[in-house]
Amino acid sequence: MTLFWTISAALLLLAIIFLMVPLWRKSTSSNDVLRDVANLGILRDQSEELEIDLRNGLLTQEAYEQGKLELQTRLLEEVKTTGQPVVKIPRNPNKVLAIVLAVALPLFAIPTYLTVGNTKAMLPLEQQNAAPDTGPVRTEEGLQELISELEDNPDPNSWYRLASSYIEMNRYEEGAKAYEELLKLVPDEAQLWANYADVYAMAHGKTLQGPEVAKMLETALDLDPNNITALALSGSVGMERGDYVVALENWQKLFGLLPPGSRDAETFKVSIERARSLLAAQPGGEEKLAKMPFDPSTQQASGDTAAAITGKVTLSSSLLDKASPNDTVFILARAAQGPKMPLAVFRKQVKDLPMEFMLDDTMAMRPELKLSGFDQVVVVARVSKSGTPMAQSGDLEGLSSAIKPGTKDLQVVIDKVVP
């Protein structure tokens, strides 16, 4: 960009020179005025010569008078500016115009270009088309710039980015305050409430205990009963206060939403078994466990397994520099025709790519909207810069063609930037 502005400044200066030089040199005095000045000088010299000749006796008084009369006659005929100070050339107004243009041209040209021009015109094509940076900042300078931007344009994406930046810097109290402002703008997003509960807990003694966190998680699950983050945290709340029934209710439901054999599924399987053991050790625990059966081999196979879609998601090499390892990845299926609400969805991170996936009826966000209930669906893989499943400008995305539920070995490549 430095080269671009240098070239622009040089061209602007050249234009000013082309305008100023002719105006600066041009005289407003007409040829007649210049001729009158010259004639006055000649006539004055001739008058002085007549006087000298008279004193020297070269002319008679009569000849002298006759010569003076002739000079006066010529003066009236040849000099048209008699009675005016013709010898004083007035100030040139074109010079004033030249100065005004030299000042006005850049004052008008620069704002006009910034309004209608393309300041990225000198950049390589891939940089011109690059999406704006929407990931968290990691420097104090970048943080202050982001805060300044928020003062001018307090949009949800910027608030989310600020909250993520604070969390990245382990400044959880400020991150919680940023989430509080964000949720004033986007109050109906379950994932944001779950994230808020998490960072709020970190900012207040790193514990999930307390009515504030419980209310945030309750709100998240009211908005989305299958929100993975809210289920995980709600189970942890139960474990912290020794309420293993609450822990198992949330974790066993969460387990059914996870891809079979995934690292998360294995992790929560261990946590569930530990919670069941602790519950069994309590008085009346065995009776409670009997009402909460858990069989990992059948839990994930519930629903219409014939409708399950399996495949692999990869990130295009051309977009690697536009994604951070901790950016959220949503893999979801939605109806090819009809409601756009996801029929099945789960969440991972860019660092997990490439990855195998499975979408089935156990991942339905609403019981009446399942994969098995539609003839054709589209699988979407999205790198979400905001951490929300809603597509935002700057997100990275890949889509399959319309496929039938039950399709196996589907390949989805994240290869475009959401405009």
Alpha-carbon gap, residue 244 to 186, rounded angstroms: 33
Of 164, 154, 168, 155, nearest in space to 191 by CA: 164
Alpha-carbon gap, residue 331 to 398, rounded angstroms: 10
pLDDT value at 359 more than 70: yes
Q: Which two tokens stand for residue 189?
A: 């997003």
In this structure, are residues 147 and 166 in contact, taking their beta carbons and an 8 Å threshold? no
Tens digit of each residue's pLDDT (9 = 90 or more) over 119-146: 555 554 444 444 445 567 778 888 888 8
Q: Which two tokens stand for residue 406?
A: 């039950």
Alpha-carbon gap, residue 83 to 87, rounded angstroms: 11
**Confidence at residue 372, expressed as pLDDT on a 0 to 100 scale:** 80
DSSP string, 182-211: HHHH-TT-HHHHHHHHHHHHHHTTT---SH
Range of lowest pLDDT (37-51, 114-128, 213-227, 285-299): 114-128
Decide: helix, strand or coil at residue 169.
coil
In this structure, are residues 199 and 175 in contact, taking their beta carbons and an 8 Å threshold? yes
What's the rounded mean pLDDT across residues 267-277? 91
The CATH homologous superfamily for domain 148-299 is Tetratricopeptide repeat domain (1.25.40.10)
Q: Give the position of tokens 């409670």.
A: 288
pLDDT bucket at 81, cuts 50 / 70 / 90? very low
Mark residue 146 as left, alpha or beta (left: phi above 0; alpha: psi -120 to 50; beta: remaining).
Answer: alpha
Alpha-carbon gap, residue 136 to 142, rounded angstroms: 9
Among 3-7, 108-112, 403-407, top mean pLDDT goes to 403-407
Decide: helix, strand or coil at residue 396.
strand
**Confidence at residue 131, expressed as pLDDT on a 0 to 100 scale:** 41
Question: Bigger pLDDT: 376 or 130?
Answer: 376
Question: How many C-alpha atoms does 313 have within 13 Å on its Cβ side?
Answer: 30
The CATH homologous superfamily for domain 305-417 is Carboxypeptidase-like, regulatory domain (2.60.40.1120)
pLDDT bucket at 178, cuts 50 / 70 / 90? very high
416-417 and 396-399: which strand pairing? antiparallel
Residues in the chain: 419
**Confidence at residue 271, expressed as pLDDT on a 0 to 100 scale:** 92
Among 46-60, 147-161, 221-235, top mean pLDDT goes to 221-235
Residue type, 61: Q
In this structure, are residues 333 and 341 in contact, taking their beta carbons and an 8 Å threshold? no
* Cβ neighbours of residue 62 closer than 8 Å, sequence gap 6 or more: none
Alpha-carbon gap, residue 115 to 305, rounded angstroms: 56
The CATH 2.60.40.1120 domain(s) of the chain lie at 305-417
C-alpha R_g of the chain:
42
410-414 and 309-315: which strand pairing? parallel
pLDDT bucket at 391, cuts 50 / 70 / 90? confident
**Average pLDDT value for the chain:** 80
Residue type, 257: L
Q: Give the position of tokens 């088309």.
A: 129
Decide: helix, strand or coil at residue 359.
strand
Q: Which two tokens stand for residue 315?
A: 């990130």
The CATH 1.25.40.10 domain(s) of the chain lie at 148-299
Predicted TM-score of the model (pTM): 0.49
To the nearest 10°, report the CA torsion of 407, 409, 412, 413: -160
Tens digit of each residue's pLDDT (9 = 90 or more) over 193-245: 999 999 999 999 888 888 999 999 999 999 989 888 999 999 999 999 999 99
Tens digit of each residue's pLDDT (9 = 90 or more) over 299-341: 544 445 667 899 999 999 999 999 998 899 999 998 887 667 7
Q: Give the position of tokens 């399950």.
A: 308
Question: How many C-alpha atoms does 121 have within 13 Å on its Cβ side?
Answer: 10
